Structure 1
């Protein structure tokens, strides 16, 4: 065994991510909402940073006709107006009240009931135990024990809560929720009750022949029952404010069409414009306190890099969007129904950046277009070659599949293999397995589950 120790010199290439590089990457992949939150925190923590009012920065693809652009932006209310306090206009938004929650809506109905305060107080407690989907999360025994009341009063109060709008609220599970709705609509017969209790999975799988055989009814009758169940609301709280809020989407850019031109307007005017406070610059130049100068220098360096990183982020996102708009020009001009194939590599080669940078630049980013708000990543599609010497995007193929299914005879749904054959005749050579994959991604059920009797 050789236990000798030797010293050897080796040369390696190694990339070390500095804190500044990490910050730059971090800012690039932030959404606008996250960036705004981050900047506000930095302003609070770094005393050398000043906030200035920011101007709306407008970008272009080609030469801008500023008169047309100005008129267009004014029509879209992009320009803000300064209003004096003496002549302040009253916005109708000032009169919009806070959204009423589901629980508040239910409590308001309890107030109007001709019930004694004892029962009402139990009802209020039950309402507080209803979750964001509209279901009661605690059982009768738990409620009785917690409130120290007889179970019969809890049952009585629960029955009152379940009689409120929206129909189905206060149910303890999905089956009870569906039966409450059926009963309120006056259609809860024995067959429907049995179907809700025993055959929900069979309805989902379109196994109406099994239901018909078990209940001694026709397949058409079984399917009619299934249609009724599918029309019920499984989430009674839908449409009410429940506190489960989705994040606000702040588009990173607007794509506006004027005549036959597309313009990119970066939506970063809400991000505060940052600058270095002159007071701290003077400290750096005039102060004799070395510790103070060192502290200020660190803060100024941090603030300077933050300002540069935000500007770099903006420029990178703009370059990416600019190339996307160029590639998908017909799509944005509504001259083509579908996106053409486009990958991260296509964009990275055009702007001479790494694919990972492009990926970070589009992460959780959105653009506002005439087609609505679009997630930038959704504009990237792979391609499938056909025998017509052109590449088709997966989006286009999915739309073909959707059109085929929409036009099929519902009593004889088209199988995946038949769809595959139709697409091959159109020059789209994809396998049956790929058809099934795209169909699943479109939320379309298999032919056996689409069959109407």
Structure 2
């Protein structure tokens, strides 16, 4: 049965529940966050807004009165779960449409602690590569720098594979695998230059508006002028 090319990254709670709840809360827009705090304060007398005191003595007295027991009780009464829905958790999904309704669906969970390299490696399994091409793809992913760029020359990768993996190939074939990796998420990974990275992202955009087409034309043919802000030469 064919493999449905769908990759779902699911966050596993390796962080504490309090840390995950706080992360969700920080993702709220400022207005929504203020509104939720205000609603909680209106319904919970144990909480109070921090107000500036006119003198230091008054501030110290208030802080002394608010002891550890009161603080613990307030934290217990303030329940993040009442305000945060599980649907707020961001999820990432990579989907290819070249499958039929009868295809088997396969989900690959990705824990919070997964590295950038592991995230890319988990995606290439969906391309159904043969053993050699799979090893080539893994080698290329391992050659990416921390920013996701491929700085190593293609000719050097050919030599590396011959000596370390006993895989004999050529630059043209390596280039095809590189282009395959450039279809992975996040958009722009596997690029050799900033120019190529921007082009990959622009070509990935679903909205092929005139603005997107013009941006692609500028990056592809006038990148040097654009990077130096010589806009008059572009126009």
Tell me the TM-score normalized by structure 1.
0.27
The structure with the larger Rg is 1
Higher relative contact order (CA 8 A, sep 6+): 2
Tell me the TM-score normalized by structure 2.
0.49
